[in-house]
Amino acid sequence: MLPLVSEIWQPPREPRAFLMAGTIAVPQFIVAIAAPCVGHYAEHWGRKAILLIGFGLAPIRDAAFAISQSPFSLMTAQMLDGIVGAIVTVMTVLVITDLTTGTGRFNLARGAVGTCTGIAAAMSTTATGVIAGSLAREAAFLTTAGVTALAALFLWLFCRRASRANISIEISRPCS
């Protein structure tokens, strides 16, 4: 998203560099602040509720990139990106922990999820670049908003409510 966002801004050189630095630093700062809160509320409200908040904010962020070009709205969208980033990062670790507790396979699962995330990021960047190049930046942002909205809908409709208390895994150990 940031390469497309950087094309939107056309201020003089110095403020542009400052704004681009802010679009990188602000979400990271928000992730650092919000991550403990995400973990806390995930224990009280459940994994699905927190994931729905994160997945619900992502299309709003993407649509904000499409509809406005002001630095204020773009920084606001990046703040939403920080919140979404905190939710996705913390919830990924919590869900993997819930599913692999007692199996000794947390690192394997985390590596597999990380690999899938990297592949998805590469495919998403390529697809949005192709859409932006052939149609327009706004079409790329709106396509991303549509995909993230579908992901939120899928989560809401098909994923059951989960918390540490109601996850049980039967493990068959071939060496036992």
Helix extents (H) in 103-163: 106-134, 137-158
CA 149 – CA 118 distance, rounded (Å): 20
Each residue's pLDDT tens digit, 67-88: 887 878 888 999 999 999 999 9
* Predicted model pTM: 0.83
**Domain coordinates in residue numbering, the chain:** 2-9+25-160
Residue 169 pLDDT greater than 50, yes or no? no
Residue 152 pLDDT greater than 80, yes or no? yes
Tokens representing 119 are: 């592949």
pLDDT of residue 90: 96
Each residue's pLDDT tens digit, 85-116: 999 999 999 999 999 999 999 999 999 999 99
**Range 2-9+25-160: architecture per CATH:** Up-down Bundle (1.20)
CA 125 – CA 72 distance, rounded (Å): 24
pLDDT of residue 174: 42
Tokens representing 135 are: 């149609």
More confident residue, 133 or 71: 133
Task: Share the mean pLDDT of the chain.
Answer: 86
CA 1 – CA 146 distance, rounded (Å): 14
More confident residue, 169 or 53: 53
CA-wise closest residue to 24 among 8, 43, 5: 5
Residue 162 pLDDT greater than 60, yes or no? no
CA 28 – CA 35 distance, rounded (Å): 11
CA-wise closest residue to 44 among 168, 167, 169, 165: 165
CA atoms 123, 148, 163, 92: torsion sign: positive
CA 93 – CA 21 distance, rounded (Å): 28
pLDDT of residue 70: 81
Amino acid at 49: A
